[in-house]
């Protein structure tokens, strides 16, 4: 048995523990593991008749070769965001299947977010044995309560938010911290709650400045230290704005000001307070994984190999109600995962709320 494995989309801490777990679990069965570099882009760059292209885009994974990688952030296989169906030369699905066949890959394990896993589901429909593993610090893959990378991103964000308090307080300003989260505000919601900021703006609820700005002004005025803190999702919108560019592109691809800077500009203009504006951006997913992402990475990697050993494929690994399980690979196509605003958020106060905890899983979903 030869397993192929790749990582796609943005890097997150926890990918390397998962890669190590897959490799060790497969090695215990006497199976080979072939890593593909740069996600699906690396697969497309391979000409099966050209050994040089194979060497440039693959990495044989061995027990000795993955020693210690679990302590590293990012992914040793590197990554890309390419979907072979949207290639400049047209749909390259046939080429992907051709490469996998010629390299003797019996099954694929893919680690990725929404885009990577959508193509994995497409391969499953084409008859390729696959197991997909959700990873994204936004935690927004539909069908699972948890994605690799989420816990570390929240932990990094809470640490940074609380560290910024020293500067914001020293200058008696309003801190605006913009966090990744284009389609879902879950990372901002949880980070803001755990850091106990004054207000949190999520992607699901437009910010009405006529309400939000007076609240922040009051927060600052009533704080003996004369400062306030606000967290905002990169995908949040400001009521009254019509520029669709703010909604359609991630912060890394926009030439204009991100929503955090736009909110900070409004704070200065409308309530006369100075603002400290900070986009945490890639720092949220930099560095080594925390304990939870190591645990989930190891567990998902082992489970993926166990499914293939049992002849089960076309599956996506998930956590539901705190339990490891698996669902059809195309489950993520069936809906959109967003914050439960009614249950977890007060849109009038721009704050998280915990209305119910008893009987709920760890992340309250």
* Active-site amino acid positions: 138
The length of the chain in residues reads: 365
**Separation CA 27–CA 25 (nearest Å):** 5
Tell me which H or E stretch contains 33.
strand 32-36
Question: In a 10 Å sphere around its CB, with 0-12 CB exposed, 13-18 middle and 19+ buried, how is residue 301 labelled?
Answer: buried
Tokens 């992907």 -> residue: 96
Cβ burial 26-35 (10 Å sphere, 16+ → b, else e): bbeeebbbbb
* C-alpha closest to that of 176 among 240, 113, 260, 82: 260
Taking only Cα atoms into account, the Rg of the chain, rounded to an integer number of angstroms, comes to 22
Paired strand residues for 226: none
The 8-class DSSP code of residue 115 comes to H
């Amino acid at each position: 048995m030869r397993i192929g494995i790749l990582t796609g989309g943005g890097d997150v801490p926890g990918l390397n523990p998962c890669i190590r777990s897959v490799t060790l679990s497969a090695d215990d069965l006497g199976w080979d593991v072939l890593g593909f570099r740069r996600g699906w882009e690396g697969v497309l760059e391979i000409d099966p008749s050209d050994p040089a292209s194979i060497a440039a885009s693959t990495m044989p994974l061995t027990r000795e070769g993955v020693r210690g990688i679990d302590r590293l952030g990012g992914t040793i296989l590197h990554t890309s965001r390419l979907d072979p169906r949207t290639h400049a030369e047209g749909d390259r699905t046939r080429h992907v299947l051709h490469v996998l066949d010629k390299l003797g890959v019996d099954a694929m394990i893919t680690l990725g977010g929404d885009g990577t896993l959508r193509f994995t589901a497409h391969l499953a429909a084409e008859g390729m044995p696959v197991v997909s593993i959700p990873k994204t610090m936004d935690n927004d893959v539909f069908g699972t309560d948890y994605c690799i990378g989420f816990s570390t991103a929240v932990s990094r964000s809470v640490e940074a938010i609380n560290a910024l308090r020293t500067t914001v307080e020293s200058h008696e300003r309003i801190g605006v911290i913009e966090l990744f989260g284009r389609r879902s505000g879950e990372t901002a919601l949880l980070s803001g709650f755990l850091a106990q900021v004054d207000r949190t703006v999520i992607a699901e609820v437009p910010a009405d400045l006529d309400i939000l700005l007076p609240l922040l002004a009051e927060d600052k005025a009533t704080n003996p230290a004369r400062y306030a803190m606000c967290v905002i999702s990169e995908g949040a919108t400001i009521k009254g704005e019509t520029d669709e560019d703010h909604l359609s592109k991630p912060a890394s691809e926009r030439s204009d000001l991100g929503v955090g800077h736009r909110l900070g500009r409004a704070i200065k203009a409308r309530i006369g307070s100075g603002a400290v504006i900070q986009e945490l951006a890639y720092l949220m997913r930099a560095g080594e994984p925390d304990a939870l992402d190591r645990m989930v990475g190891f567990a998902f990697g082992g489970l993926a190999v166990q499914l293939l050993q049992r002849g089960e494929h076309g599956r996506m690994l998930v956590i539901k109600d705190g339990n490891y399980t698996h669902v059809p690979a195309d489950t993520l196509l069936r809906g959109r995962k967003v914050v439960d605003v009614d249950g977890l958020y007060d849109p009038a106060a721009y704050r998280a709320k915990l209305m119910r905890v008893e009987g709920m899983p760890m992340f309250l979903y």
